[in-house]
Amino acid sequence: MKNKAIGIDLGGTETKIGLVNGDGDILKKEIISTDVEDGFRKVILKVGMTVLEMLKKENISKNEILGIGIGSPGSVDRNTGIVLFSPNFPDWQYAPLTEYLEEITNIDTFVENDANAFALGEWAFGKHRRCKNIIGLTLGTGVGGGVIINDQLLVGANGFASELGHVIVQPEGPLCGCGSHGCIESYASAPNIVRQAKEYFKKFPDSYIFSLGKITAKDVFDAAKKGESVATLVLEKVTTILAIAISNYIHIFNPEYVIIGGGVSKAGSILLDPIVEKTPRYLWPSFKNTFNIELSNLIEDAGIKGSASIVYFRNK
């Protein structure tokens, strides 16, 4: 009986591969180095061989596998399974990802953009599983988003919909990696949280945070927890921008849940609480009590579970 899926979380340094059942339990997990410099074919050959070895070791027949799901960073054609462009994989231009993996494994393979996979993971395996209207927002190296409305993933005409991180909130704001100014990502991604802290150096050179040397986003949140002034100012800005952004999403999509994930979300309540408090300020009163904003509880395994959920979603 086909009741299990393989979820592949493709990262720039390591790739996580998991065998996942229909309840979202990870039955087996392997982590391999991605070795991007080896090029597309070698990377995928290694991933495919790891999948086959895992099934052999676990004594699981391919007949039990519904499919392989991959959450891929970058622009992905979800219908053809071709990666058009991916910033961490320079030679992956028009790379036939699903076709090549199917050739190696002989298992049906499906791909989605990794932020869409995150939203699907919340829909399939999160704490509000099978809730019909969910927005997933991932705060990491970049800011990504996925929108599920009425149990359907919003993909748009070309599959590029819900780039929630590139909604512009301040037209005069900082330059974003995408070329625009004042996108949400230009404030709320991990590197941009660090950048904003560094911009206070001239004003507050003696601030504790500048004694740390190399600053990370985690340092900023840890310092804010202690009431450090620069970190508090940065956090105030970031959570206001996120509250404005989320109120925009709520006005457009009317979701039941907005789930925040990605590495930055590990900051916990110091990030979440101000967002929850500020978001209603920007909303019509009619939206009061129609939604909840929460942190993902899938954290470490969100990539594998999100990728596996693609398979269950495409076969539902």
Biggest CA–CA distance in the chain, Å, is 64
Q: Supply 106's token pair.
A: 């002989």
**Quick one: 171 or 213, whose CB is closer to Zn ion?**
171
Distances (CA, A) of 168 to 83, 104, 136, 184: 26, 42, 18, 6
> Least separation, in Å, of the C-beta of 44 and Zn ion?
29
Tell me the DSSP string of 129-176: TT-S-EEEEEESSSEEEEEEETTEE--TTTS----GGG-BS-TTSPBP
Position 192 contacts Zn ion (CB under 5 A): no
Position 188 contacts Zn ion (CB under 5 A): no
Per-residue buried b or exposed e for 257-280, using 16+ beta carbons within 10 Å of the residue's own CB: bbbbbbbbbbbeeebbebbbebbb
> Least separation, in Å, of the C-beta of 182 and Zn ion?
8
> Least separation, in Å, of the C-beta of 42 and Zn ion?
32
Phi then psi for residue 107, to 5 deg, are -125, 135
> Least separation, in Å, of the C-beta of 62 and Zn ion?
41
For Cα atoms 266, 271, 275, give the angle at the middle one, nearest 5 degrees.
135
**Quick one: 175 or 252, whose CB is closer to Zn ion?**
175
Position 175 contacts Zn ion (CB under 5 A): no
> Least separation, in Å, of the C-beta of 171 and Zn ion?
12
List 36, 176, 193, 233, residue binding Zn ion (CB under 5 A): 176
List 178, 273, 284, 299, residue binding Zn ion (CB under 5 A): 178
CA distance 71 to 85: 14
Site size toward Zn ion, by CB under 5 A: 5
152-171 mask for Zn ion (x: CB under 5 A)? --------------x-----
> Least separation, in Å, of the C-beta of 6 and Zn ion?
32
**Quick one: 166 or 305, whose CB is closer to Zn ion?**
166
Position 183 contacts Zn ion (CB under 5 A): yes
> Least separation, in Å, of the C-beta of 178 and Zn ion?
3
Task: Calculate the CA 243 to chain-centre distance.
Answer: 18
Which of the stretches 69-77, 108-116, 176-184, 226-234 binds Zn ion when contact is defined by CB under 5 A?
176-184
Q: Find the DSSP H helices in the chain.
A: 40-57, 97-105, 114-125, 185-188, 190-198, 217-225, 229-253, 269-278, 302-314
**Quick one: 21 or 180, whose CB is closer to Zn ion?**
180
Binding site for Zn ion (CB under 5 A): 166, 176, 178, 180, 183
